[in-house]
Amino acid sequence: MVNAAGYVPFRWTVDSLGWQGTSGGRSAAYVCQRVLGTVQPGQVVLLHVGAHPTDCSTLDADALSCIIDGTRARGYGFFSLDAFAR
């Protein structure tokens, strides 16, 4: 059904856990290290948009520059999922 609608299903390989927020014991540094600790070719990273509903933290957004810089330093690049589906 998904493919017939023109979509391609996919799964992520690492969840940042930034959605747990600071009230869940997480930090931007934790999010960055969690993602960078699993970097591999073809990895799909699940990041979350918006703020945690209770503590208003934005850990994924706060960690994004660290994730990008660390990923590039390891020799990897980025592409959109539509490129992956082709």
* pLDDT value for 56: 96
pLDDT per residue, tens digit, the chain (86 aa), is 878 888 777 889 999 999 999 999 999 999 999 999 999 998 999 999 899 999 999 999 999 999 999 999 999 998 877 776 55
pTM of the model: 0.85
pLDDT value at residue 5? 87
Give the count of beta carbons closer than 10 Å to the beta carbon of residue 66: 16
Q: Is 3 helix (H, G, I), strand (E, B) or coil?
A: coil
Q: Which DSSP letter does residue 50 get?
A: S
**What pLDDT, on the 0 to 100 scale, is given for residue 25?**
94
